[in-house]
Amino acid sequence: MDYADLALGKPAIYTATYTPSLLQSIPRSPLREPLGIDPDDLPFHGMDCWTSYEFSWINRKGRPEMAVMLLQVPASSPHIIESKSLKLYLGSFNQTRFTHRADVHRTLESDLMLAVRAPVTVSLIGLDQLEAEGVGPPPGTCLDHLDVEVEHYEVRPELLRVEGDVSVRQSLYSHLLRSCCPVTGQPDWGTVFIQYAGRGIHHGDLLRYIISFRNHSGFHEETVERMFMDILRRCEPDALTVHARYLRRGGIEINPFRSTRDEMPIMMRTARQ
């Protein structure tokens, strides 16, 4: 796929007045085709959860307002948002005056809906609310303390295996997820949460599999969908959820969520976020 026209990886002029044309989107289909995902019959529910910690505008009295912007894009949308274009677009609000906070909300929702060609949900969270929510410990069992030998740093789904015939329900996570931006080659660091029900997945091999993404070139959304499909096909769980919480770049973090269940992700922050 040709990304030559994208803002990502190119020098940019930062515009401080509202410019919706800065938004760029990327079709999902070319990213999903190699994974065998039928866009008309998705094997999962989910959404891409974006958080911008550097969002500001000017109110009717000329005083700057600040908020954390939460954006939820459904996994069924035909397009994803290009991350640098979102940063530039949000930056264009900085010196733009809005009479009411509701006007900011409506503008964001309308523009972003046009970008992804699907309904989106936008929330503006006050900094006092964010502070009150705090940072919580990840739920489940951390895999990172397992003393495993690692040989592979390119995706190896064949590492995945189940053990035993007893059905279990587990919540596992690892902070060792790293993939690389397919446009700039820069590393993307994150924590991945895997919740499943079914035959037990071998923990050491699951950790090796997660580490095998270390040099994988892929957008956040594609990386999570690849992980979801690999586990679904090779381990055949009765239920599966994969949720990655990536570290922010440029004040923005992307946290894709895919699940066999039609549910909403838990909005949490880890210590690294």
Q: What is the CATH number of the domain that holds 75?
A: 3.30.1130.10
**Three-state SS annotation for the chain:** CCCCCCCCCCCCCCCCCCCHHHCCEEECHHHHHHHCCCCCCCCCEEEEEEEEEEEEEECCCCCEEEEEEEEEEECCCCEEECHHHHHHHHHCCCCCECCCHHHHHHHHHHHHHHHHCCCCEEEEECHHHHHHHCCCCCCCEECCCCCCCCCCCCCCHHHCCEEEEEEEEEEEEEEEEEEECCCCCCEEEEEEEEEEEEEEECHHHHHHHHHCCCCCECCHHHHHHHHHHHHHHHHCCCEEEEEEEECCECCEEEEEEEECCCCCCCCCCCCCC
User: Interior CA angle at 183 toward 187 and 251, to 5°?
Assistant: 55
Question: Does 186 lie in the same domain as 107?
Answer: no
Which is more confidently placed, 250 or 266?
250
Is the per-residue pLDDT at 8 higher than 70?
A: no
Question: Does 115 lie in the same domain as 53?
Answer: yes
Question: Does 92 lie in the same domain as 154?
Answer: no
Mean pLDDT of 6-16: 72
Question: Does 120 lie in the same domain as 146?
Answer: no
* pLDDT tens sequence across 49-72: 999 999 999 999 999 999 999 999
Q: In total, how many domains does the chain have?
A: 2
15 occurs within a structural domain = no
**Residues labelled catalytic:** 181, 188
The pLDDT value recorded for residue 121 is 97
Question: Does 187 lie in the same domain as 115?
Answer: no
Question: Does 246 lie in the same domain as 167?
Answer: yes
* pLDDT tens sequence across 240-251: 999 999 999 889
Nearest to 25 by CA among 85, 110, 109, 88: 85
Is the per-residue pLDDT at 120 higher than 90?
A: yes
**Percentage above 90 pLDDT, the chain:** 82
Write the Ramachandran bin of 40: left for phi over 0, alpha for psi from -120 to 50, otherwise beta.
alpha
Mean pLDDT of 191-209: 97
200 occurs within a structural domain = yes
Q: Which of 133, 167, 200 is the last residue of a domain?
A: 133
234, amino acid identity: R
Distance in angstroms (rounded) separating the CA atoms of residues 172 and 61: 49
12 occurs within a structural domain = no
Question: Does 216 lie in the same domain as 244?
Answer: yes
Rounded to two decimals, the pTM is: 0.91
Return the structure tokens found at 5.
């026209």
7 occurs within a structural domain = no
- The boundaries of the domain holding residue 154 are 141-259
226 occurs within a structural domain = yes
101 occurs within a structural domain = yes
The pLDDT value recorded for residue 1 is 60
Q: Which of 133, 163, 182 is the last residue of a domain?
A: 133
